[in-house]
Structure formats: structure tokens, C-alpha cells
Amino acid sequence: MSKVNLNVKIGNLTLRNPIMLASGTVGYGNEISEFIDLKKIGAIVTKSISLKPRKGNKPQRIMETAAGMLNAIGLANVGIEKFIKEKIPFLKKHDVPIICNIAASTIEEYVECVSMLEHEDGIHAFEINVSCPNVKEGGLQFGNDIKMVGKITEKVRANTTKPIIIKLSPNVSYISDFAQAAKKEGADAVSAINTLVGTAFNIKTRKPKLYNITGGLSGPAIKPIALAKVFEIHRKVDIPIIGIGGIMNWQDAVEFMIAGSSAVQLGTVNFIDPTAAEKVLKGLTDYCNENNIEQVSSITGSYQLD
Amino acid sequence: MSKVNLNVKIGNLTLRNPIMLASGTVGYGNEISEFIDLKKIGAIVTKSISLKPRKGNKPQRIMETAAGMLNAIGLANVGIEKFIKEKIPFLKKHDVPIICNIAASTIEEYVECVSMLEHEDGIHAFEINVSCPNVKEGGLQFGNDIKMVGKITEKVRANTTKPIIIKLSPNVSYISDFAQAAKKEGADAVSAINTLVGTAFNIKTRKPKLYNITGGLSGPAIKPIALAKVFEIHRKVDIPIIGIGGIMNWQDAVEFMIAGSSAVQLGTVNFIDPTAAEKVLKGLTDYCNENNIEQVSSITGSYQLD
Amino acid sequence: MNIAENQIDEIIELEYNIHLFKVISPEIARKINPGEFLNIRISELAIPLFRRPFSVCDVEDDCYYLMFSTMGTGTKLLASKKPGDFIDVLGPLGNGFNIVDDFDRAIIIGGGLGVAPFPYLTRQLKGKKEIISFIGGRTKNDVITYGLENISVATEDGSLGFKGNVIELLEKELDKTDNIKSKIFACGPTSMLKALKILAEQNNIDCEISTECTMACGFGICQGCPIQSSADEDKYLLVCKDGPVFNSKEIIL
Amino acid sequence: MNIAENQIDEIIELEYNIHLFKVISPEIARKINPGEFLNIRISELAIPLFRRPFSVCDVEDDCYYLMFSTMGTGTKLLASKKPGDFIDVLGPLGNGFNIVDDFDRAIIIGGGLGVAPFPYLTRQLKGKKEIISFIGGRTKNDVITYGLENISVATEDGSLGFKGNVIELLEKELDKTDNIKSKIFACGPTSMLKALKILAEQNNIDCEISTECTMACGFGICQGCPIQSSADEDKYLLVCKDGPVFNSKEIIL
Ligand SMILES: Cc1cc2nc3c(=O)[nH]c(=O)nc-3n(C[C@H](O)[C@H](O)[C@H](O)COP(=O)(O)OP(=O)(O)OC[C@H]3O[C@@H](n4cnc5c(N)ncnc54)[C@H](O)[C@@H]3O)c2cc1C
Ligand SMILES: Cc1cc2nc3c(=O)[nH]c(=O)nc-3n(C[C@H](O)[C@H](O)[C@H](O)COP(=O)(O)OP(=O)(O)OC[C@H]3O[C@@H](n4cnc5c(N)ncnc54)[C@H](O)[C@@H]3O)c2cc1C
Ligand SMILES: Cc1cc2nc3c(=O)[nH]c(=O)nc-3n(C[C@H](O)[C@H](O)[C@H](O)COP(=O)(O)O)c2cc1C
Ligand SMILES: Cc1cc2nc3c(=O)[nH]c(=O)nc-3n(C[C@H](O)[C@H](O)[C@H](O)COP(=O)(O)O)c2cc1C
Ligand code: FES
Ligand code: FES
């Protein structure tokens, strides 16, 4: 059986394989490292880091929906200083590329965060979260405003030489327009998708089930939507795409690559099966071997529309 | 036990109860009338009618997803003439208010359809479908263009005295802006939501699973998203809302009403359980009785945000 | 058509992981005809969301039989049911085989699990018409002969009977046929039905085929199961309502 | 913590629809402490999506016990399992009760199914400490006394024991207590825990409570289970990782 080349290039970033762990779904890698060997994973994307620590929203923060979940964590995180001091050293030990996801409520804050991390050699790339649906400032105000997405990209680009990935909101009419804006301003790649805005009410109390009222929908329920967004970007914009949304197994990962993803991220599945990433990687490798695929990257965008 | 008043007013339209059957999920009422007593239902919304008959898309037209389905029927319908001649007489026999859903690829076509039906006394209202994701012309080009939605509403309004309901696309950043545009041009109500754009690929053949490539996602998977859209419109725009999306049982119907819906439509559930509408109506009535709710309409928008 | 909870009376395990459910329902047993089907809701939860269609395999007194193997989520869950459990059944649905026609010999053709409707058809024809059955599969493990009569077998790998596909076998046998008025009843993979349609029409034999496709509703309201009409280019027929059994001349495969 | 398929050895049905599963796992039986929990994936399908958390109810040799009643989708599916079936178990998780402290009397307080962790705690304390158990429920059908010792009962409708809630009962009994150094171990509805927290702190009794909330991961990666720290206004603790057992002074309910 021939050896598959699992490397993927995402702009200037080369990863040993296309399986990444999504922001906010593995914290800073600590707990999940008891279940999987981080050395084998393509990259780990940190929980969104903001300049100052954030306590996050009050409970109820999460709930289950049909084949999905709503979350309104509210970007709870330790803040950038503690991240540098405490979290990076741990991750460096594990020999896994770290992509630092950054959230902010002003352009200046994004820039400041990036600048503070620019010389941290443990950080391989930035994923700029312009699309968190669960915070009052920044979040969707940014993610749904194409000019703002362009401007954030431009300013971040001006302040780092590391690869930049813009994480796009799916809560828009044409996500490819946003990918185009990101590309134009120098982004190396886009991640698609973040969660979709959703809500739920308790019919006894008539109160929202989440303290934040609305939350972000993730999990298998959103997979068809995420695939359509990835496909739309792939058809319209020439930029590497990291596919995210409802991936539960290797078949889903392959489907996202066929639809146009250069790499994929696993999110919600980590909560259900923290060993999923290794299983997906094995399944993908076997798929390549069985189908005589020498370069995993050749699957990207290989859809057949006749 | 007190008798609940189930009547709801949707602009100029009064319905005996808020449970309606959604467009495209019960054809023209024929088959479903073998399972439920149409006399008991609030209203039936016809499959989208277009000026000329449409054959619809080639198969594969439907597929199952996690707690949802993708469809790309492509507005297969008998065309307006045959609808008038063959379908209206049947529905009139059943004593159920008919809301005629209209799809078109030009503004003129909408106007022509409405004019042809204006004097059909069997038709109680029009639902204007500006949001079908599965056709090349019209569909999302309209539904995602706020000016177009305004213009269509304006022209239709000028040509009918019957109530007009605009069926909105969820594939937009802020659905309330579209509701506002519809209201401004004289719509009596909005329906939310139509299906979300989704897709799926066969990982063996790498072909799309649907002939149309993308389809519309419906069913329980989309319920949280639909609820958030209804809630957004209710908070921002003063217009009656007909809630749609993933309703499977009476609890879901109540949740949609709490979130801001004056009435609801059942879609995908009709395929799984064609008796669902009667069950939902019974459950809703019992809920009112048990909670001493005298007017079902008082549930609308009764969320408690403290 | 009707919706009801039907109780499973008995489960019979055939060779090669084929399950046979004997289900109690005097209503369905009385009404259903060979080639018609039932649409079964396998779980109360939203996965699997759609009902799953199954042919009536046979009828005996107040019971009907279902025959299936595990393909995916739905059939796996169904296979975990026990005697005494209830299943949520919608039916009878669709149009079955037309056996009141004027013919003297029934040629039954089944590929793989496509044999499912034929035990019941065989029961109804037995003693009235001559029956010949041609059963095909990839290997001998795909050949199901339960409830059939006068069987010739074809396997693609030659592990049982004729080596080749079942239509090639039929063609070989057809050359020898006499003047007895025959009618073909077939069910199986679309590739098989396509080849058969050509053969039947070339030889001018009346041919009814049972088609398959993904279904949501099973009774004509979702428009999810179109099949091209050969009479009218602008028209799709619905597999669930106009079929699943069609005369081969009615449709384009 | 670890993920494994554990086999159900035996199922015991207690009164009032309480199920007791005896599950084989030498690893978990060896490692787990009273108050710790297991997060169980009940179906391979995406409904229910989340694992469901259950306290370890007891441990015997190579087996542990789970105690539950059917609340919704997950517990209903779990209740349909049979001896011999496997369940997908993640654990042991969380921090349990601290019993190495200096105390002589354990006051155990359980409301409804909140008694679940206490058979195991009782087993570990028996013979070493004095044990008094106060068990409450809405009616007598909610009172579960399995595996407990020295029990006083309170029901809100008075159908068994003291009429009132279990904290009122405790308060009444506390007045009578002597100078024996006591520690409270409690689990039950949040309203009960709130009242208890006040009572314990007023009476200066050390008090550990096991809290409950919706969980996705159960091991600290989703941040879905925050509970307010009383030491630091800007800090949430995580029920799954820092708890589920907390000293009542650590948290604000
Ligand atoms: C009118 C009609 C009558 C039928 N009668 C029978 C019957 O009597 N016995 C029986 O076993 N089946 C019958 N089928 C097929 C049966 O409905 C499917 O096997 C079933 O829906 C599969 O459900 P699942 O959830 O197990 O598989 P899914 O999870 O839906 O699919 C799993 C995999 O199997 C493939 N698959 C699904 N259905 C088929 C199929 N029909 N043929 C080949 N591959 C398939 C899918 O593409 C997928 O790869 C009939 C179908 C129709 C339309
Ligand atoms: C650390 C921890 C330990 C636990 N130990 C046990 C145990 O040993 N035995 C046991 O039976 N349960 C225990 N639980 C609770 C158990 O996890 C829930 O009962 C279970 O998740 C319900 O799942 P479901 O799918 O059946 O219900 P769902 O479908 O999730 O919920 C159905 C209904 O029940 C309500 N509900 C859900 N959970 C609870 C609850 N805990 N209390 C009151 N109402 C609820 C929901 O609001 C909903 O209305 C524990 C929970 C935690 C956090
Ligand atoms: C609990 C939770 C927390 C999340 N936090 C973040 C976050 O901090 N930053 C971010 O960019 N995305 C965050 N996400 C979004 C995920 O990274 C991912 O885009 C989304 O969940 C869709 O993927 P999935 O369906 O595989 O979960 C979070 C998702 C969940 C479920
Ligand atoms: C098979 C199918 C066909 C549909 N056809 C139409 C249509 O012709 N016109 C329309 O406005 N909506 C159509 N819809 C959308 C539904 O009316 C409804 O808005 C959507 O399915 C969401 O509701 P649900 O989740 O309850 O199905 C269709 C939906 C399905 C599933
Ligand atoms: S399956 Fe719904 S119309 Fe045929
Ligand atoms: S349940 Fe995930 S962090 Fe506690």
C-alpha cells in the first residue's frame, strides 16, 4: 500500500495533515491531550483569545437541539497575557502547530492582540474570529459587515507576517463576498463556518433557554449548510478554505474536502467523542489508500458536476 | 374547562386556528385529506403556483440529513390555469381556507398570477414566495435582495385586495430588514422561514447528491434557526409573523408562538406523520386549557426576557 | 391508506442476514396487493427522519411479511426489533402488479433483495398461471429464493447457477420459448431493469417492473420521487403513487 | 479518565420506576470515588447528541452501579438496554466527596434521585463514621432509600415521614444535635441545596454539595457548565471539572 502524502498547504502554512481541532471546542488542548496524541493532529485552534480575560456569559450556556447544540459561552477566556504565560508552553511541549484564534470588539484590539503574539514562535498562524454570535460587541456586527471584515483583515495583515485565516460568519446572504473581501486584503485562508444564530424557549416559563437569549448552532444539524457555504466560496473565490460544521467522522471530513476544503476542523464532536480526531485521520488515510490517492490535497474541490 | 378562542388575525385574514399546512408539503390537499379533516385546519397553503406549469428538477430531488432533509423539487406545479380549474374546486369542497402560494421569475409574472386569482373567492390570501432556493431564476436572487422584495410587495399590493403574506428567505444577515421592507410596501404578514441552502456530496462518486447540486434544508435540524429568525422579526418589526421550520409537535408550535408567531405552518412533518396537524391542534388546545389561556393569540410574542 | 401501530408476531432469520418479519394487521392483509408497499417509521426520534418503504413480501391470514437486510441506519434499527414490538406503518401504498391481464406464463425476475415482493405474487399466481423465476445476485450469498417457484439462478461470479447477470440468463432462455403468452414481473437494481426493458420490448413481451428510489412521504405529497414518463416528455410520474410498479413502456429509466 | 465500552451485567428494577444497572469495569470500579460521575453516550446516532452524566451509585468488586429514572430521550433509550449490552462510558469524571476530613458524623441529605451517589458514600463511611441520612421527595413515590443507613424521611405532601421539605426536617433535627463534629453531604434539586447552604453556614457545619447542570463534554473543554465562585466575583468554576461536588462555601447557587 502506497504511503499517502497528507500534507496540506494553506497559504504560507504547511500542515502535516488536514485535521484540525476547532476553536472553543478543545480549550487550550490540555484536557483533550489525555485522549488523543496531539503530535498526530494537523493543528489545534485555540479558544478565542481576547486582550483582557473574559468571564463569559451566565448559565444556561449550552443546550441540545435535534442533532445539534446551541452555545452561548460568550468567549470566556483567560486573556492574552495568561495565554502567553501559561498555555503556549504546554502546547509547545506537545509538538502541535498552534493557530491562535483572536476575538475583539474593535479593530485596534485585533491589532494589539496580533502584535503581542507576533514574536511567539509557538504560534503558527492567526484565525481571526469576526463571527461570534454570542457577544454584544464585535461578533456579528463585524461578521455580517463586509467592509468591516475587509478592514480588519487589512489592519491585521499590516501587523503580522504569520498566516492569517479569517473565520467567516454563515449568517449572511453570500459568504463568498466576505471571502473575496478577506482575500483582497491579504488573508491566506478563510474558515467556514462559525455557528448559525439560533434560539429556544421554555414553553412553561416562556423564558429563553439560554441566558444570552440566542446562541450559536453547531453539530450534525448544520452540516448541509456548512457544505453549501464551503462549496459557494470554492466556486467563486480562489482562496484556501478550512471547512467546519458538523463533522462527526472521516466520511464527513472527505465530503468537506470534496466540496472545496483544504483542511477541516472538528468542533462539537470533541465533546461527544474526544478521540474523534485520530479516528478521522485514520479513516481519511485509509480512504486515500483504497482510492489510490497519493496527495490528500488532491481531494480538495474535486467535486464532479458533469 | 373553559373554551379556548383559537381564532387568530393575520392582518385582514382571520383564521379559525393558527395551524396551517406549509407550501410544497401537502400538494393541493388531496392526499392529506385522507388522514386529516381539513375542516379543522387553520389554512392550507398551496404548493407554489407559477404562471406556466413547471416540470420541476430531475431526480435526485430529496435526501435525508441529520434530523433534516434537503429538497430541490424545483417548484414542480400544474400551473395557474389547471390550478384554477382542477384544484380550487376540490379544496372548496373541504371548507378549508386556501392561501395560494405564488412563485415567479419576474415581477410581472407575480402580478399576472395575482390578477388571475383575484376574483377566485376560494382563495383567502396570497403567500408570495420570494425565497425558493431551488430555481435558477427568481428564488434567492429575489429573496436576498431587499429592494426586490419591496418592489414585489408593492406591485402585488397594487393588484389585489386580498391579504398578502411575504414568505421570507432565511439565507440573509438580518431577516427583519426584509420584513420591514415588506411591511412598508403593504404586506399583511410575513412567513418565516423558507428552507436554508444546503448540499451534500457522495464521497464515492464525488457527485452532488442532488441533481440541482444544492437544495433547501428543512425539518427539526433548522428549528433553532427558524425560532431565532421569528424572534428577530418580532423584536424589530410590527407585523404578524407565520412561524415555520422544523415543527414536529404541539410543543414546537407553542414555542414558535412564544417567540413571536401569530400562526404556524407544518412542513416536513407531514411526510413523516400526515396526521400531525390535528395532533398539534389538540395539543395546543390542551395547553391553553391547562394554562387558563382564553385567547390562543395571547401566546404570540409572550416571551419573558426579565 | 392508513397509519397504524402493527405488532410483530414473529421474526424469521433467513440465510445471509435476511430478516423476515411476520406482522399482524388484518386490515393490511386484507387490502394489500403484490407489488404494493408500506412506509414504516422506524424511530420516534428525528433520526432517521423519513419513513422507510418496504414491499409486502407475503400475506397469510391476518398477517403480512416484510423481507429486508440491513443497509443503513433505518434497517439496522428495524433489525433490532423483537417479536411483540410495534411498528408504525403507513399503507398500503402505491400500485402493484397487474395480474388480471391476459397471460399464461409469469416470468418473475428478481435481483438481490428485489425478490422481496415475489413470494406474495407467486402465491397469488400459483395454480392459475405457469411460473418461471429467474433470480440473480453478485454472488451466491445475494441469491434469495424464499417463497419462489421454478427457479433459475444467475450469479455474476458464477458461484451459483449461470455465470453472468440475470438478464443474460433470461435472454438465453427466451430464445427457446414457445408460443405461450408470457408476462414479465421484475424488481431489482436499475441497471438490471434497464437491460430488461430493452430485452422485453425487443421481444415484444409485456413487462412490469417495480422501481425504487428515495422516498419521503410515500403517498404523493412531497414530489420527491419523480420518474420520466415516456408518453409525455414534459411529465414526471411519481414512483410512490403512480408506481412503484410500471409497465416498462410507461417510463424512461 | 478514559473512554470504554462497558458491559451491563445485571439490571435491577427498584420501586417507582428506578433502574439500577450493574456494569462491569474493573478500571472504573478501582478508580472511582463517591460523588464522581460517568458521562455516557447512549446512542451512536446524533439524537441524543450529548453524553448524559450519571453519578456512580455504588461499587462492588469489578462492577459499578448506576441509578436512574426516565426523564427524557436519553434515559428512555438507556432504560431500553438489556443485560449483556454495552454502553459507551467516559470517566471517571469530576471531583467527589472529601471523606478524609476530620469529622465523626456524616449527615447525608438526598432529594429525589439526588440520593444516587450515596449508597457508595455510605459503603465507604460505614463502620468508620456515624451516618444519619435525611431523604426527601415530593411524595412517597420519590423517596429512594436503596443502600442507605439510618434514614429519616420527609415528603412535601406528608405521604411518608415528616411533612415538609427535607431541609426543614434537618433543621428540626439539628436543634437537637450535640457536640459531635458533623459534616453534611448533599445532593438534590438546586432549591434544596440553596436552603441547605444557608442552614449549614448559619450552624457552622461543614457542607459538601453535589451540583447538577446540563453538560456537553463533562471534562472541561466546552465551558458549558459554569457555576459562580464565591471567592472571586470574576470567576466561574466548572461543575464538571471543579465539581460536581463543592464545599458549599466555594460557590454561589
Ligand atoms: C417501493 C420500495 C419498496 C422497497 N422494498 C424493500 C423490501 O421489501 N426490502 C428491502 O430490504 N428494501 C426495500 N426497499 C429499499 C429500502 O427502502 C431501503 O433499503 C431502505 O430505505 C434503506 O434504509 P436505511 O436507513 O437502512 O439505509 P440508508 O441509511 O438510507 O442508506 C444506507 C446505504 O444504503 C444505500 N441504499 C439505501 N437504499 C438502497 C436500496 N434500495 N438499494 C441499494 N442501496 C440502497 C444508500 O445509498 C446508502 O449508501 C424498497 C424501496 C422502495 C422504494
Ligand atoms: C454530575 C451529574 C450526575 C448525575 N447523576 C445522575 C444519576 O445518578 N441518576 C440520574 O437519574 N440522573 C443523574 N443526573 C441527571 C441526568 O444526567 C439527567 O437526568 C439526564 O441527563 C436526563 O437526560 P434525558 O435525555 O433523559 O432527559 P432530557 O431529554 O435531557 O430532559 C428531559 C426533561 O427532563 C429535565 N431534566 C433533565 N435533567 C434533569 C435533572 N437532572 N433534574 C431535573 N430535571 C431534569 C429536562 O429539563 C427536560 O424537561 C446527573 C447529572 C449530573 C450533572
Ligand atoms: C461550545 C462552543 C464554543 C465555541 N467557541 C468558539 C470560539 O471561541 N471561537 C470561534 O471562533 N469559534 C467557536 N466555536 C465555533 C466552532 O469553532 C465551530 O466553528 C462550530 O462549532 C461549527 O463546527 P461544529 O459543528 O463541528 O461544532 C464554538 C463552538 C462551540 C460548540
Ligand atoms: C419538499 C418540500 C417542498 C417545498 N416546496 C415549497 C414551495 O413550493 N413553496 C414554498 O414557499 N415553500 C416550499 N417549501 C418550504 C416549506 O414550505 C417550509 O417553509 C420549509 O420546509 C420549512 O418548514 P419545515 O421545517 O416544517 O419543513 C418546501 C419544503 C419541502 C420540504
Ligand atoms: S415519496 Fe413523496 S411524492 Fe413520492
Ligand atoms: S460540561 Fe463541558 S466544560 Fe463542563
Which strands form D63-68's sheet, in the order they lie side by side? Answer: D52-55, D37-41, D86-93, D2-13, D19-24, D63-68, D58-60
Q: How confident is the model at residue D178 (pLDDT cuts 50, 70, 90)?
A: confident
Map residue A213 onto helix, strand or coil.
Answer: coil
Q: Give domain D105-210's CATH architecture.
A: 3-Layer(aba) Sandwich (3.40)
Shortest Cα distance, chain A CAs vs residue D136, angstroms: 25
Helices (H) and strands (E) in chain B, counts: 10, 14
Q: State the amino acid at position C56 in one-letter form.
A: V
In the reported structure, the alpha carbon of residue C228 is separated from the centroid of ligand 5 by a whole-number distance in angstroms of 14
Among protein residues, the one with the nearest Cα to ligand 2's atom 53 is D212
**Which residues, other chains included, contact B139 with Cβ-Cβ below 8 Å and sequence gap of 6+?**
B103, B131, B132, B133
Sign, Cα dihedral of C62, C68, C70, C74: negative
Candidates C230, C226, C228, C227; CA nearest to C249 is C230
Q: How confident is the model at residue A166 (pLDDT cuts 50, 70, 90)?
A: very high
Tell me if chain D has a CB within 8 Å of the CB of A271. Answer: yes
**Which residues, other chains included, contact A139 with Cβ-Cβ below 8 Å and sequence gap of 6+?**
A103, A105, A131, A132, A133
What whole-number distance in Å separates Cα of residue A16 and Cα of residue A57? 36
What whole-number distance in Å separates Cα of residue B158 and Cα of residue A186? 48
List chain D residues with CB under 8 Å of B249: none
Contact: D214, A58; criterion CB under 8 Å = no
Tell me if chain D has a CB within 8 Å of the CB of C73. Answer: yes
Annotate chain D with three-state secondary structure: CEEEEEEEEEEEECHHHCEEEEEECHHHHHHCCCCCEEEEECCCCCCCCCCEEEECCEEECCEEEEEECCCCHHHHHHHCCCCCCEEEEEEEECECCCCCCCCCEEEEEEEHHHHCCHHHHHHHHCCCCEEEEEEEECCHHHCCCCCCCCEEEEECCCCCCEECCHHHHHHHHHHCCCCCCEEEEEECCHHHHHHHHHHHHHCCCEEEEECCCCCCCCCCCCCCCEEEECCCCCCEEECCCCCEEEECCCEEC
Q: State the amino acid at position B298 in one-letter form.
A: S
What is the separation, in whole angstroms, between the first and last Cα of chain C?
A: 27
D47 Cβ inside 6 Å of ligand 2? no
CB atoms within 10 A of CB A86: 12
Candidates A111, A206, A96; CA nearest to A154 is A111
Cell 411460473, residue? C131
pLDDT at A1 over 60: no
Among protein residues, the one with the nearest Cα to ligand 3's atom 5 is A24
Tell me if chain C has a CB within 8 Å of the CB of A66. Answer: yes
B261 Cβ inside 6 Å of ligand 4? no
φ and ψ of C115, to 5 deg: -75, -10
D220 Cβ inside 6 Å of ligand 6? yes
Altogether, the residues listed in chain D come to a count of 253
Q: pLDDT tens across B25-58, in order? A: 999 999 999 999 999 999 999 999 999 999 999 9
C213 Cβ inside 6 Å of ligand 5? no
pTM: 0.97
Shortest Cα distance, chain B CAs vs residue D48, angstroms: 11
Q: Is A132 among the residues known to form the active site?
A: yes
Map residue C176 onto helix, strand or coil.
Answer: coil
pLDDT on residue D177: 63
pLDDT at A45 over 90: yes
C186, C188, C190, C196: CA torsion to nearest 10: -40
Rg (alpha carbons) of chain C, rounded to whole number? 18
Write the residue in C90, C227, C236 that is nearest to B56 by C-beta.
C236
In the reported structure, the alpha carbon of residue B71 is separated from the centroid of ligand 4 by a whole-number distance in angstroms of 8
In the reported structure, the alpha carbon of residue A260 is separated from the centroid of ligand 1 by a whole-number distance in angstroms of 29
pLDDT at A133 over 90: no
For chain C, how long is the longest CA-to-CA vector?
55
C35 Cβ inside 6 Å of ligand 1? no
Write the residue in A68, A171, A203 that is nearest to B221 by C-beta.
A68
Mean of pLDDT over chain B: 94
- For domain C2-93, the question of CATH label 2.40.30.10 is answered with yes
C-chain residue closest to D44, CA distance: C73
Q: pLDDT tens across A178-205, in order? A: 999 999 999 999 999 999 999 999 999 9
| Grid coordinates given for B185 | 410596501
Burial of D54 (0-12, 13-18, 19+ CB in 10 A): buried
Contact: D214, A274; criterion CB under 8 Å = no
Which of A21, A23, A225 has most ligand 3 atoms within 8 Å of CB, for mutation?
Answer: A23
In the reported structure, the alpha carbon of residue B251 is separated from the centroid of ligand 3 by a whole-number distance in angstroms of 28
What whole-number distance in Å separates Cα of residue C96 and Cα of residue C114? 14
Interface with C, mutate which of D42, D43, D44, D45 (most C CBs under 10 A)? D45
Among protein residues, the one with the nearest Cα to ligand 4's atom 29 is B24
pLDDT on residue B11: 84
pLDDT on residue A142: 79
What whole-number distance in Å separates Cα of residue B269 and Cα of residue B22? 10
The whole-number average pLDDT for the span A110-135 is: 90
List chain A residues with CB under 8 Å of C49: none
Ligand nearest to the CA of residue B69, numbered in listed order: 4
Closest atom, ligand 2, to C-alpha of D57: 8
A267 Cβ inside 6 Å of ligand 3? yes
The whole-number average pLDDT for the span D83-88 is: 97
In the reported structure, the alpha carbon of residue C213 is separated from the centroid of ligand 5 by a whole-number distance in angstroms of 10
Shortest Cα distance, chain D CAs vs residue A233, angstroms: 28
Closest atom, ligand 1, to C-alpha of C93: 1
The domain ranges of chain C are 2-93, 105-210
**Which residues, other chains included, contact C163 with Cβ-Cβ below 8 Å and sequence gap of 6+?**
C154, C155, C156, C157
A167 Cβ inside 6 Å of ligand 3? yes
pLDDT in tens, chain C (253 residues): 899 999 999 999 998 899 999 999 999 999 999 999 999 999 999 999 999 999 999 999 999 999 999 999 999 999 999 999 999 999 999 999 999 888 999 999 999 999 999 999 999 999 999 999 999 999 999 999 999 999 999 999 999 999 999 999 999 988 666 788 999 999 999 999 999 999 999 999 999 999 999 999 999 999 999 999 999 999 999 999 999 999 999 999 9
φ and ψ of C170, to 5 deg: -60, -45
Closest atom, ligand 6, to C-alpha of D216: 1
Q: pLDDT tens across A140-152, in order? A: 677 788 999 999 9
pLDDT at A138 over 70: no
Q: What is the DSSP secondary-structure string of B156-195?
A: HHHT--S-EEEE--SSSS-HHHHHHHHHHTT-SEEEE--P
List chain D residues with CB under 8 Å of B67: 46-47
What whole-number distance in Å separates Cα of residue B9 and Cα of residue B12? 7
A74 contacts A54 by C-beta, under 8 angstroms: yes
Tell me if chain A has a CB within 8 Å of the CB of D216. Answer: yes
In the reported structure, the alpha carbon of residue B86 is separated from the centroid of ligand 4 by a whole-number distance in angstroms of 22
What whole-number distance in Å separates Cα of residue A47 and Cα of residue A31? 13
Q: pLDDT tens across B246-283, in order? A: 999 999 999 999 999 999 999 999 999 999 999 999 99
C-chain residue closest to B78, CA distance: C235
Tell me if chain B has a CB within 8 Å of the CB of C48. Answer: yes
In the reported structure, the alpha carbon of residue D113 is separated from the centroid of ligand 2 by a whole-number distance in angstroms of 9
Tell me if chain C has a CB within 8 Å of the CB of B76. Answer: yes
pLDDT on residue C1: 82
| Grid coordinates given for A186 | 491579504
A51 contacts A112 by C-beta, under 8 angstroms: yes
What whole-number distance in Å separates Cα of residue A172 and Cα of residue B304? 28
φ and ψ of B228, to 5 deg: -65, -35
In the reported structure, the alpha carbon of residue A244 is separated from the centroid of ligand 3 by a whole-number distance in angstroms of 9
Tell me if chain A has a CB within 8 Å of the CB of B234. Answer: no
List chain B residues with CB under 8 Å of C46: 67-68, 219-221, 248
Tell me if chain D has a CB within 8 Å of the CB of B305. Answer: no
Q: pLDDT tens across B102-116, in order? A: 999 899 999 999 999
Q: State the amino acid at position B17 in one-letter form.
A: N
Write the residue in D90, D214, D227 that is nearest to A63 by C-beta.
D214
Ligand nearest to the CA of residue D217, numbered in listed order: 6
Q: State the amino acid at position B60 in one-letter form.
A: Q
- For domain B8-55+74-196+218-299, the question of CATH label 3.50.50.60 is answered with no
D58 pairs with which residues across the strands? D65
The CA angle A143-A145-A149, to the nearest 5 degrees, is 65
C224 Cβ inside 6 Å of ligand 5? yes
A71 Cβ inside 6 Å of ligand 3? yes
Ligand nearest to the CA of residue D236, numbered in listed order: 6
C73 Cβ inside 6 Å of ligand 1? yes
A299 contacts A254 by C-beta, under 8 angstroms: yes
Tell me if chain B has a CB within 8 Å of the CB of A148. Answer: no
D158, D160, D161, D162: CA torsion to nearest 10: -20
Altogether, the residues listed in chain C come to a count of 253
Map residue A206 onto helix, strand or coil.
Answer: coil
Tell me if chain A has a CB within 8 Å of the CB of B193. Answer: no
pLDDT at B5 over 90: yes
What whole-number distance in Å separates Cα of residue B101 and Cα of residue B86? 16
pLDDT on residue B139: 63
Candidates B140, B233, B223; CA nearest to B189 is B233
Q: pLDDT tens across B130-160, in order? A: 976 666 665 667 778 899 999 999 999 999 9
Q: State the amino acid at position B195 in one-letter form.
A: T
Tell me if chain C has a CB within 8 Å of the CB of D75. Answer: no
Candidates A277, A8, A236, A36; CA nearest to A125 is A8
CA dist A179 to A165, A257, A277, D119, Å? Answer: 10, 17, 27, 58
The conformation of residue A85, written as its DSSP 8-state character, comes to I
